[in-house]
Structure 1
């Protein structure tokens, strides 16, 4: 808490100087208002703008600033008017100006667009100012803009935080799954990109319920645009390589659509483009990425911390379609239909040497995997988003037919063992979310409903059964040997049916800048878990015993009442919720003597406040507290082999787990489009208390039994981060620096082979420093460079280790002759400790010829020139350390034709 207090003192020092606001009007000699006149505030004798404003159509302006100077210079400039400067006192005042005309005969006009402009909460970026000759898509250029980061899946971060909406010409076609557009929209079709800070997507709530998130609006050059991006490639390697991408797009005033088909086996992930990357606003209802309840798993080979293209052995087909139309004359109503299908096969292999500190043993594991993904998703969305009302209904259906395989070779204290593992996991999922806001006199009535049903079937086969030989802690009598009879295989079956229902109603009252929203609701969930463990002899499966069966019903009924208090003014924004939850939870399994319940009233407030000052600064703080009372995952009492090496169970005598979490954070942001400077500094502290702790018992061979004990334990973390970025127009360079420091502590419990328990604190301190820059100053070259250093120090009674990492990526493009590009990429990833370091370097080389007239690129690319086939990594955990060697994609050559649809 001392660190937190220090940070607040630093933050409060920002407000040490008084803030002043000057308002007024700007008119011409005839008394007519002068729109679009610039009003800047400067400190006397200094050529540095501390605040600015632009007059509206009525010639009105308002400028707020903070400075210690007793007087400031107010400067007014407008086209065809003489500039005016006036010294005024540093205090709130009203200043009106009448400008003298100063018409000038213009012999030659050169129009130069500003690369960054700001109007209100909207910052506009001219894409032409940031692009390089090698860029082809919107994502290529966005990652060069100060204050914006783009992840490989196309997701966008602004000032380090995810955006809440991604619009094209003001329309939200993708409903959060915007990765397809970001990665495939040609940059030549885009006029500018707008960042809308503090964006409230529900129009009827604008100026009533504030938002802390930003949104992006992509403005195309034409109001009706037919465009898109395509690629077709083939390659030389083992096996034969292919890559095909076809993404046509249409953006009109009433209709928009995107069709996307991508397939490859060259290591490129394309199916993640269908993920929902932004989730809008809570008043829009509830949406999320549908996933399976992955209770059962085969042993998984490790993956390196590399771009997936370096190690992903895939064979993927991904097809999606998104449609938006206005079904009625009113443009407020929109109908959206989204559908996608994924078929993917992934191979993976790794070798690991683990050292266990407790037992002082070492075991070796070689895992070879095959993962098969087969899923379909359909979604229908009907919305009305208007100033006089809001309606949104989302219906989603998903079906999975996934399967995983593993072949494992182990060498441990029992000798050498081989196991074959297989999972079949079909899942059916259905969700419907409804939210509507209806104006009633001066009030707003909001009704929300969410219904979800999911049915997961999972079957894990392990062959032979002798593979499961290992020791585990049973009770005070000593050790139990998990050695099943010598049969062909064992089978773990699991089925869980999940029903979730959420209903709520609220009424919003507005008084001046305040909005009060009392809300009542009812949340209900029901899980039915059935598991069975059996052995296979002569093609017949037989149940193994009651200790391995579950028939658990877990219900959670939570009626609640909440009060939302929101405030919005020119400088202040407050968003808060104060809910009282009446938790009624039951876990019943008569066969296992499980009969647990809890009835408890909890108060779980959340507050976010933001203050904007001196035109370019934002200071914010947030705090929240919540309770979690466990779930089906930690309430069953019969053993479940969630993995062949990790059986686990909760004691029937333990209470329902209770977790209490608190967190507080602050952030200070600076965004100055006048000098292209962006930065932020943040701090967060969190603390979690639990009444149940997992007790992990490793018998020294890597087979881990986990049971759960009733024991108070806690964890806490402190993290501070800073980032600053600037665009240098003279050098056509965008550069940023970042640093993060975090300290975390957590209580842990483990038991050794001598039945001795250890309750200890594990402390982890880590730092990360990063540098990013790109440069397009030279007409014959462009550079993109990312660099990061990381350090960590882990301390507990078994381990005192220091690890370090180094990661950098250099992409350089040379343009020796018009329409010819030579590219070079260097990825370097190092890891290790104070004794050993593993260096992993990768090099790529490419040549591209551009047929400018047809906008077609022909690319020849050589990946992994050094033909590095494995990646090496050293890592430590609380009570063990490991060396891992992972299989990589070999050297490969691809020839690709890239083109725009129009």
Structure 2
């Protein structure tokens, strides 16, 4: 079946390529001078259907590519103050030159109409005014309504279903991928248009040499010098609430800066604006988000799915950041980015667990307090010119977290985890021309120190340690991990006709040192649990590699083949009996190809093989209490995973008709040499995890598609999406135990102990936005998903769940400068014959001071005063149903003043 599908795909792909034709040439005007900005359109005869079009450049040149099965086509040439010509020509690749006759264009009435969406080359431009509503205030508000563009809940932006790789303002990348602050705080009135840069290669010297799979966004402001920004101040009751946002911004041709201070206790997760969401190009160096290295953890209250964060987040956050970009010279830029977060979060939930027979087996209540202090500083020197590239990024990250939990299970417990962490890294990349070749050198160095202390009181709460801790008051798990990593590479690129070849050699090296100790503590001293609860482990990974990258680009076709050979050497040794090593040569080819079928249609495909190897978190002989419910040991071979993948995409974007469509398919086949088994205490849900040298395999197929269209006549943007995935995997059946059971007495599993798990997921999404009426605007988003899980093993288990979510936001404008808003969030979950419904309602009134660019808003959130969010889900790993209740923010009333800085 796979071979037939591959042959069919290849046949269709080849047919489309050979069916494509190209007409090119010049358009001349008066006195046979080249005529710029003339349109050349290919149309089907007698159908008035546009196949493709092009606009002549400054020298009158044009090139238009199209696909048609007809013997002849119409070619229409139009230009202002010239007579339109239309003639029939053979459906063939050819060169056609046109001489237009002068003809004055009579204008009876002047009406300036800006096109909603225009396309020129690989750039698609959106007129912001065409998509905004009266309720919109920031760039993010309008981006959500543009066809082909999607904004996720975390603020990341997708174009045609894929994440963007750059976010520019007036062509400059101030935020280095952390564009959340600008997107959320840039007033829409400061923006002239938004440009989508398709197939964007951010390194200028590599443009037209190396393929790029992703698009970028460029925000063009109305003025070259713009002082702007957004502010917001709120006070409220439930009981006492505050919210303050101050984000002044300056954009000039040589200097850009953004200052940002935000604080609130209304559930707004402003600190996420610091996350990198666009990672650019590999030749720019290494970019990573920094977060807690969560080895140890307290028991965590459940976080709801698919619900807006501000519904359930009980927070007190202070977030400050500053971003500066300045041009040192014509090509050199200096950037400095810094941020600091102080955050306190409270969370509570209750989880009821049911076995496969529907019997209640456990009830656990968890109340958390999370305290976060995080600092970041970054300095960047860069030169991105047509003839050279240089970028050096120096970053410091510091994290000082304390997590607290109070649990009610069979008995109660108090838990505390301290996790200070410090990280320093430097990334350097340079591309230098050498004769007709390009030499690239990259270097990355990182050092990180993580310390974690987990305390659990009383000691007998940890049932898996009741024998060892019977004379202790509390349990103390200590962990220290020091990580040094370095990545170096050198490559040289040279071009021949339509080919670019880039051979590369490199060396990746990392070393980890892990020290852990588990003991009991009393008022009289420390009770040592013995060497079986200790680790003094050194883990080293050395990977020299060599690879060849070949890129072909001609006309509308582009392909990139990368073939690396990796020499992997990994060792893991400790002070006890652990001594593991792996030496393996791996080949990981990857192919990506893209073809522009017409001006509107684009097809792409990719395939490859990847290998990954276990890290220090996958192998240690001493037992580690990762949490009060998870005692783990992983005395296995070094983990090896192999994945083979293939995928394709078909995209259609037609700015003439405001239609955007894409469909994507992915197949992945993987194998892993290590399998894990869960030993579950059925009464407390406490786990002991043990790894075995036993290979397991799995595969996944997925397809997703989305069709969106903007209807200018009705000022409506609508889209519908569908996704389907089928996953197959193997897992070892969880074994139910009691506190007295010793897991070492259980025999090692064999292939006969595997359960085959099949998961079938389907989802439908619908989005609708309408601004047709001057007195009303409507936003509606809905999603429906079906999940079917089947487990085949000692006995057959089948579970089906259905989830439905929708959000309706309406705004009424009864009188000028007055706005009434209403929001309705509905979330429903069905599983095991039970249904959980969650409804939330908000209402607001806003008065706008137009001249002052200020809004005064009174808002009531959660009118019904719902105090809990409930859902029900199936856990295929443990073959049980989990029913969850999470505390929700109560009704709150807020008075807010919103304003622009200019």
Residue 76 to residue 794, structure 1, CA distance change in 2 (3 Å)? same
* Partner residue in 2 for 1:84: 85
Q: Distance in 1 between matches of 2:467 and 2:500?
A: 61
Asked whether the 8 Å contact 1:466–1:483 carries over to 2, the reply is no
* Partner residue in 1 for 2:288: 288
**Aligned partner (choices 536, 539, 546) of residue 561 of structure 1:** 546
Q: Distance in 2 between matches of 1:14 and 1:877?
A: 46
Q: Distance in 2 between matches of 1:13 and 1:843?
A: 54
Q: Distance in 2 between matches of 1:621 and 1:539?
A: 67
**What SS does structure 1 have at the residue aligned with 2:695?**
strand
Asked whether the 8 Å contact 1:17–1:66 carries over to 2, the reply is no
Query: Is 2:421 the counterpart of 1:435?
Result: no
Query: Is 2:33 the counterpart of 1:32?
Result: yes
* Partner residue in 1 for 2:856: 858
Asked whether the 8 Å contact 1:697–1:750 carries over to 2, the reply is no
1:14 offset after TM fit, Å?
A: 6.8
**What SS does structure 2 have at the residue aligned with 1:547?**
helix
**What SS does structure 1 have at the residue aligned with 2:272?**
helix
Query: Is 2:428 the counterpart of 1:444?
Result: no
**What SS does structure 2 have at the residue aligned with 1:711?**
coil
Asked whether the 8 Å contact 1:405–1:422 carries over to 2, the reply is yes
Structure 1 segment 871-886 matched on structure 2, within 5 A: 871-878=869-876, 879-886=879-886
Structure 1 segment 34-49 matched on structure 2, within 5 A: 34-49=35-50
Q: Distance in 1 between matches of 2:299 and 2:15?
A: 53
1:541 offset after TM fit, Å?
A: 2.5
Q: Distance in 1 between matches of 2:503 and 2:598?
A: 34
Query: Is 2:473 the counterpart of 1:488?
Result: yes
Residue 50 to residue 356, structure 1, CA distance change in 2 (3 Å)? same
Q: Distance in 2 between matches of 1:885 and 1:10?
A: 53
* Partner residue in 2 for 1:849: 847
Asked whether the 8 Å contact 1:4–1:685 carries over to 2, the reply is no
Query: Is 2:494 the counterpart of 1:509?
Result: yes
* Partner residue in 2 for 1:478: none
> Which consecutive aligned stretches of 4+ in structure 1 deviate over 3 angstroms post-superposition?
1-7, 9-14, 104-108, 356-361, 753-758
Structure 1 segment 803-822 matched on structure 2, within 5 A: 803-822=801-820
Structure 1 segment 654-733 matched on structure 2, within 5 A: 654-701=636-683, 702-733=685-716
> CA offsets, 1:501-558, max 9 Å, x none?
0010000011122110000010000010000001111152332111110000000000
Structure 1 segment 609-620 matched on structure 2, within 5 A: 609-620=593-604
Q: Distance in 2 between matches of 1:536 and 1:792?
A: 46
* Partner residue in 2 for 1:477: none
Residue 315 to residue 799, structure 1, CA distance change in 2 (3 Å)? same
Structure 1 segment 95-134 matched on structure 2, within 5 A: 95-106=96-107, 108-134=109-135
* Partner residue in 1 for 2:759: 764
1:606 offset after TM fit, Å?
A: 1.5
Q: Distance in 2 between matches of 1:469 and 1:709?
A: 23
> CA offsets, 1:46-102, max 9 Å, x none?
111110000111111111100111111111110000111010111111111111111
Q: Distance in 2 between matches of 1:361 and 1:833?
A: 15
Q: Distance in 1 between matches of 2:736 and 2:324?
A: 60
Query: Is 2:644 the counterpart of 1:643?
Result: no
* Partner residue in 2 for 1:476: none
Asked whether the 8 Å contact 1:73–1:85 carries over to 2, the reply is yes
Q: Which moved more, 1:208-217 or 1:834-843?
A: 834-843
* Partner residue in 2 for 1:897: 897
Asked whether the 8 Å contact 2:535–2:575 carries over to 1, the reply is no
1:482 offset after TM fit, Å?
A: 5.4
Structure 1 segment 227-626 matched on structure 2, within 5 A: 227-238=228-239, 240-305=240-305, 306-327=307-328, 330-357=329-356, 362-410=361-409, 416-470=410-464, 484-538=469-523, 540-591=525-576, 593-626=577-610
**What SS does structure 2 have at the residue aligned with 1:139?**
helix
Q: Distance in 2 between matches of 1:452 and 1:663?
A: 30
The TM-score with structure 1 as length reference comes to 0.96
Q: Distance in 2 between matches of 1:11 and 1:801?
A: 39
**What SS does structure 2 have at the residue aligned with 1:296?**
coil
> CA offsets, 1:184-204, max 9 Å, x none?
000000000110001110011
Q: Which moved more, 1:12-21 or 1:134-143?
A: 12-21
Q: Distance in 2 between matches of 1:280 and 1:539?
A: 57
Q: Distance in 2 between matches of 1:632 and 1:429?
A: 18
Q: Which runs of 5+ in 1 are unaligned?
A: 411-415, 472-480
**What SS does structure 1 have at the residue aligned with 2:235?**
strand
> CA offsets, 1:674-723, max 9 Å, x none?
11000001100001101110111112121111000111101110001111
Asked whether the 8 Å contact 1:22–1:93 carries over to 2, the reply is yes
Q: Distance in 1 between matches of 2:639 and 2:405?
A: 33
Instruction: Report how many residues are paired.
Output: 882
**What SS does structure 2 have at the residue aligned with 1:111?**
coil
Q: Distance in 1 between matches of 2:134 and 2:555?
A: 41
Asked whether the 8 Å contact 1:505–1:519 carries over to 2, the reply is yes
Asked whether the 8 Å contact 2:464–2:631 carries over to 1, the reply is no
> CA offsets, 1:377-400, max 9 Å, x none?
000000000011100000000111
Asked whether the 8 Å contact 1:468–1:483 carries over to 2, the reply is no
